[in-house]
Amino acid sequence: MTGAGGRVGGAALRALVARGRAPIALVRDPRRAGSLAERVEHRCCDLDDRAGLEDAFAGIDALLLCSGHGPDLLGHQLNTIAAAQDAGVRRIVKISASPASVFEGSPNRAAANHREVEAVLAHAGVEYTCIRPNAFIQGVASSRAAIADGELPLTLGDQALSWVDTEDVGEVAAGALLAGGPLPEVIPVTGPQALTGVGLAEILTAVTGRHVLYRALTDAEQQNRLRAAGAPAWLAEHVVSIFALLRERDGDRVTDAVEHWTGRPATPAADALTRDADKLGLELATSMQEEIRT
Ligand SMILES: NC(=O)c1ccc[n+]([C@@H]2O[C@H](COP(=O)([O-])OP(=O)(O)OC[C@H]3O[C@@H](n4cnc5c(N)ncnc54)[C@H](OP(=O)(O)O)[C@@H]3O)[C@@H](O)[C@H]2O)c1
């Protein structure tokens, strides 16, 4: 499993362990992997290292292809596919980008990179599927300071978005890694309902116990806000452009993929945020803390 130390890869790994499997995690540095490297078998290699990857994939039957998005994603993932082909990997499950963003000529660079990887995978001579998750609900925590001040700043306008829990995405990936029979080329994965900015702010109010109001930003305001908070230019551009696509191209679509691949309903945003509040640096309402204790 590549990306096993990350959010989606980590969730896929936990799901496989919960199903009694013994996944092997690829880590670039066991010190960075922390307890992961102690809990499961791991092999060390950087996704930059094409030859090292081929050695690391020896004897591997099915591979999770997942790496953090950023300027290196394309090179890393193409390296991984080439090494997996040469090592004789039979099945690859790729974590791609949001269904709204992956299409020919997508103006979003990360989505265009994911699409290019998907196209290479389609001709790699392996069984494969491309999981396209909608925006991760955990991503709202990047606005944790504003949320603590009672504001949810997004460039969603009046549109709704079917935010998805990263644990659900990982569980779907685990299901696809283990599934018998042919896989669909694409699995669009969403949360259970589409939420407007106002709807999500109400959920954050209930979860944090602070009155949170949605603040609809323009793209330029968001870009300036992210840059002022220290985000690199590529990330600020990415966030603005991905939300433009989510607004304009069915970011509110809801699929039944979680139920289909895991046998249980998709996790509501409120439950995912409450469960992960500590990790995400979100303050929890006293009533929620009591609910968790009981
Ligand atoms: N954010 C969203 O809303 C969203 C929506 C749809 C799709 N996606 C896609 O979902 C994917 C997974 O996202 P995520 O949040 O789970 O990512 P993440 O938490 O940032 O995890 C990325 C993983 O990739 C590993 N990695 C990065 N560079 C590496 C390298 N050079 N060699 C070896 N390993 C490397 C990291 O290892 P370390 O632990 O060593 O850093 C980490 O385990 C991304 O490709 C993203 O584009 C995101």
Average the pLDDT over 213-240 and give the result.
95
pLDDT value at residue 69: 83
pLDDT value at residue 70: 84
Q: Is residue 1 part of a domain?
A: no
Q: Is residue 236 part of a domain?
A: no
- Determine if ligand 1 sits within 6 Å of the CB of residue 64: no
Q: Is residue 273 part of a domain?
A: yes
Average the pLDDT over each of 20-34, 107-121, 126-140, 218-232 and give the range with the smallest value. 20-34
- Determine if ligand 1 sits within 6 Å of the CB of residue 76: yes
The first and second tokens of residue 227, run together, are 């840059």
pLDDT value at residue 222: 96
Q: Is residue 151 part of a domain?
A: yes
Which residues form the domain of 170?
7-195+248-293
Q: Report the distance separating Cα 267 and Cα 245, nearest Å.
A: 24
- Which of 35, 44, 69 to mutate to test ligand 1, by most ligand atoms within 8 A of the CB atom? 69
Q: Whose CA is nearest to atom 14 of ligand 1?
A: 7
Q: Is residue 227 part of a domain?
A: no
Indicate whether 31 pLDDT > 90. no
Closest CA to 60 of 79, 43, 39, 78: 43
Average the pLDDT over 161-167 and give the result.
98
pLDDT value at residue 11: 96
- Determine if ligand 1 sits within 6 Å of the CB of residue 242: no
- Determine if ligand 1 sits within 6 Å of the CB of residue 92: no
Q: Is residue 22 part of a domain?
A: yes
Res. 98 pLDDT band, cuts 50 70 90: very high
The better pLDDT of the pair 294, 110 is held by 110
Res. 158 pLDDT band, cuts 50 70 90: very high
- Ligand 1 geometric centre to CA of 40 (Å): 19
Indicate whether 34 pLDDT > 80. no
Q: Is residue 104 part of a domain?
A: yes
Provide the domain count of the chain. Answer: 1
Q: Is residue 243 part of a domain?
A: no
Indicate whether 213 pLDDT > 90. yes
Average the pLDDT over 238-263 and give the result.
97
Q: Whose CA is nearest to atom 36 of ligand 1?
A: 3
Closest CA to 53 of 70, 75, 71: 75
pLDDT value at residue 290: 75
Res. 47 pLDDT band, cuts 50 70 90: very high
**What CATH number has the domain bearing residue 176?**
3.40.50.720
